[in-house]
Amino acid sequence: MLLAGINFPPISDVLNWKAIAFSGSPFALNKVGLITLVSAGITLLLFYLAGRQRQLVPSGVQNFVESMVDFINNSIVLDVMGPEGAPWAPYLTGLFFFILFSNLFEVIPFIQMPATARMSVPAPLAIMVWFTFITVGIRAQGIGHYFKNAVVPSGVPGPLLVILVPLEILSNFIVRPFALAVRLFGNLLAGHLLLLTFAVISEAMFVKSIGLVILPLPFAMLTALTGYEIFVSALQAFIFTILSALYIAEAMKSQH
Amino acid sequence: MITTVIIAADSSNPILPATGEIIWSVLSFLLLLLLLGKWAYPPVKKMMADRAAKIRNDIDAAELARAEAQRTLEEYREQLAQAKREATHILDEARQTGEALRADLLAKAEEDLAILRSRNEEALRIERQRVIAELRSEVGSLALELAEKIIDAEVDRAASQSLIDSFISEIGAMQA
């Protein structure tokens, strides 16, 4: 058995990281916390550099940042929220970049850990979005109107409401944040474990001379999956952001 | 089988988040939102808006300039046509004036010529009359003189003949 010779690391070794600073306190800073800080830092640095260049014809960092801002503005803010969503553009841009860079650390050599593969990142983000859209709804429509519009579908006969109202409550206020968090977390955790698996197999093949014959297969898979994970990182950041925009937009206007 | 190995080897829960991680991720995200919204996002957004405005203005200005140029061109064309018309007009006028002047001059010259000619003719006529009158008196006196000579040399026929000849040649010389 070839697999018998492969030592998969325990999952806690690749997900639970030791504290680098403030060990023992609630503020224990580990690899995941550091990645989130660095992701925020990279985003700010990119915007700082882009804002400092101020060229009429953008190039380099300015070009990248501006095209991303333009993409978020057109594909998320304007498409989903319309012109009245413009004040939300910085929030959504920050959300997108923060998730994107947290995800991309999955394929950065020697770091190879997506911060979003820990529930500690997607869950607070989802809760913040949940909090945001409820607050926006209450401020835009008033507390009574908002909750009535959100949970009571219009034009539905009375008896059906008995079934529909609990379903709406469940779908709008419980499933939404849960799905947001789990979708991001699950995708990135799965990607992380996939890359890990193929990296471990490739390494084992390389170490065991007998495995050299089939070494190219897991290694090719590892290479292909690395590319695929870059795509998934961007896609999941986009999905999280566009769904957040959708929830906020829905709360801004009564849809029923 | 791989999953079994992983799960079996794991003691802690891979799903539940750690407190420190939550604190740092929330902190970094909120910090990012704050700094991005207050300080990093507006310049980029403003620059993009400024550029859009500048491009829009440039296009408008270019459109205005084009319309202006078109209008100027039309004006120039109109002026050119006007100038051409004027030039033709001036030329026509000049030609007409020249023609009239030439006709006038010609008429005057002809008139002068006629006057001159009639004056000459008059002078000639007077001169001729004067000459004829003079000749008449001269011939008369000559005839008288001849008659005297004939009478004087009546006898000499041959001498008369030569006298007549010399008289005639004398007249011829006078006439010449």
Structure tokens at A227: 């590319």
3-state secondary structure of A29: strand
Q: Give A155's Cβ-side CA count (13 Å radius).
A: 2
* Contact status of B175 with chain A (Cβ, < 8 Å): no
B13 contacts A189 by C-beta, under 8 angstroms? no
Cross-chain CB nearest to B25 (options A33, A56, A65): A33
Say whether A125 and B16 touch across the interface (CB within 8 A). no
Read off the amino acid at residue B159. A
pLDDT given at position A9: 81
> Which residues of chain B have a CB within 8 Å of the CB of A120?
17-18, 21-22, 25
Task: Chain B: give the shortest CA distance to residue A102, in Å.
Answer: 10
Task: Chain B: give the shortest CA distance to residue A254, in Å.
Answer: 27
Task: Chain A: give the shortest CA distance to residue B24, in Å.
Answer: 5
Cross-chain CB nearest to B20 (options A26, A48, A189): A26
Say whether A189 and B36 touch across the interface (CB within 8 A). no
B24 contacts A36 by C-beta, under 8 angstroms? yes
pLDDT given at position A3: 55
| Residue B166, number of CB atoms within 10 A of its CB | 12
| Residue B165, number of CB atoms within 10 A of its CB | 10
How many structural domains compose chain A? 1
pLDDT digits (tens, 9 = 90+) for B26-36: 999 999 999 99
Which residues 34-53 of B have a C-beta within 8 angstroms of A? 35-37, 40-45, 47-48, 51
> Which residues of chain A have a CB within 8 Å of the CB of B7?
11
pLDDT digits (tens, 9 = 90+) for B125-149: 999 999 988 888 888 888 888 888 8
Q: Print pLDDT tens along chain A (256 aa).
A: 455 567 778 877 778 788 888 888 888 888 899 999 999 999 999 999 988 877 778 888 889 999 999 999 999 999 999 999 999 999 999 999 999 999 999 999 988 899 999 999 999 999 999 999 999 999 999 999 899 888 888 887 878 888 899 999 999 999 999 999 999 999 999 999 999 888 888 887 777 766 666 777 888 888 999 999 999 999 999 999 999 999 999 999 865 4
Better pLDDT: B99 or B173: B99
A91-A93-A97-A99 Cα dihedral, nearest 10 degrees: 50
Q: A74 exposed, middle or buried (CB, 10 Å; 0-12, 13-18, 19+)?
A: exposed
> Which residues of chain B have a CB within 8 Å of the CB of A123?
17, 22
> What number is the ipTM of this complex?
0.89
pLDDT given at position A211: 60
**Whole-angstrom distance, CA of residue B1 vs CA of residue B25:** 34
Say whether B25 and A10 touch across the interface (CB within 8 A). no
Q: Is the pLDDT of residue B1 over 60?
A: no
Residues spanned by the domain of A29: 3-252
Query: Phi and psi of A21, rounded to 5°?
Result: -140, 165
Task: Chain A: give the shortest CA distance to residue B73, in Å.
Answer: 33
A53 contacts A61 by C-beta, under 8 angstroms? yes
* Contact status of B4 with chain A (Cβ, < 8 Å): no
* Contact status of B151 with chain A (Cβ, < 8 Å): no
Among A83-97, B6-20, B155-169, name the one with the lowest average pLDDT. B6-20
pLDDT band for B6, please (50, 70, 90 cuts): very low
Cross-chain CB nearest to A47 (options B11, B40, B48): B40
**Whole-angstrom distance, CA of residue A107 vs CA of residue A67:** 23
pLDDT given at position A1: 43
Global pTM exceeds 0.95 = no
Q: How many CB pairs under 8 A join A and B?
A: 149
Structure tokens at B105: 């001059």
